Structure 1
Amino acid sequence: MSKVEDFEELRPLLFSIAYRILGSVSEAEDAVQETWLRFDGSATRPTSTKAYLSAAVTRISIDVLRSARVRRESYVGPWFPEPLLADPYEDPARSAELADSLSMAALLLLERLSPLERAVFVLREVFDFGFDDVAVAVGRSEAACRQLLVRARRHMAAGRPRFEADRQERQRLATRFLDALRNGDVGSLQSLLAADVQLVGDGGGKSPQLAKAVSGAENVARLLGTVFPWLVRIGVTFEPQEVNGQPGAIFRHRDGKILQVLVLDVLDGRIQTIRGVINPEKLDHLGPVADAWAADREVKQARREWG
Structure 2
Amino acid sequence: MSKVEEFEELRPLLFSIAYRILGSVGEAEDAVQETWLRFDGSTTRPASAKAYLSAAVTRIAIDVLRSARVRREQYVGPWFPEPLLNDPYQDPARAAELAESVSMAALVLLERLSPLERAVFVLRDVFGFEFDEVAEAVERSQAACRQLLVRARRHMRAGQPRFAAARDERERLASRFFDALSEGNVAGLRELLSAEVSMIGDSGGHGPQLSKPLAGPDNVTRVLAMAFPRMAKIGVTYVTYEINSRPGAVFRDRDGKVVHTLGLDVVDGRIQMIRLVVNPEKLRHLGPTADIWAIDHATRHAHRLPRSPE
TM-score (norm: length of structure 2): 0.97
Q: How does 1:233-252 map to 2 (within 5 A)?
A: 233-252=233-252
Aligned to 1:273: 273
Aligned to 2:71: 71
Partners of 1:161 and 1:46 in 2: how far apart? 42
Aligned to 1:208: 208
Aligned to 2:129: 129
Percent identity over the alignment? 71
Aligned to 1:44: 44
Aligned to 1:95: 95
For the residue of structure 2 that corresponds to 1:242, the secondary structure is strand
Aligned to 1:29: 29
Partners of 2:306 and 2:186 in 1: how far apart? 20
CA shift for structure 1 position 164: 4.4
Aligned to 1:261: 261
CA shift for structure 1 position 69: 1.4
Partners of 2:179 and 2:245 in 1: how far apart? 21
Partners of 1:251 and 1:15 in 2: how far apart? 25
Aligned residues of 2:201 and 2:278 also touching (Cα < 8 A): yes
Aligned to 2:114: 114
Aligned residues of 2:164 and 2:267 also touching (Cα < 8 A): yes
TM-score (norm: length of structure 1): 0.97
Aligned to 2:142: 142
CA shift for structure 1 position 183: 2.3
Aligned residues of 2:165 and 2:266 also touching (Cα < 8 A): no
Matched positions, count: 307
Question: Which ranges of structure 1 fall in alignment gaps of 5 or more residues?
Answer: none
Letter in 2 for 1:276: L
For the residue of structure 1 that corresponds to 2:242, the secondary structure is coil
Q: Deviations over 1:33-79 (max 9, x none)?
A: 00000000000000111000000000000000011111011111000
Stretches of 4+ aligned residues off by more than 2 angstroms:
161-166, 300-307
Aligned residues of 1:18 and 1:58 also touching (Cα < 8 A): yes
Q: How does 1:162-173 map to 2 (within 5 A)?
A: 164-173=164-173
CA shift for structure 1 position 232: 0.6
Letter in 1 for 2:255: D
For the residue of structure 2 that corresponds to 1:194, the secondary structure is strand
Aligned to 2:10: 10
Partners of 2:150 and 2:264 in 1: how far apart? 30
- Report whether the alignment pairs 1:191 with 2:199: no
Question: Which ranges of structure 2 fall in alignment gaps of 5 or more residues?
Answer: none
CA shift for structure 1 position 242: 0.4
CA shift for structure 1 position 259: 0.5
Letter in 2 for 1:61: A
For the residue of structure 2 that corresponds to 1:197, the secondary structure is strand
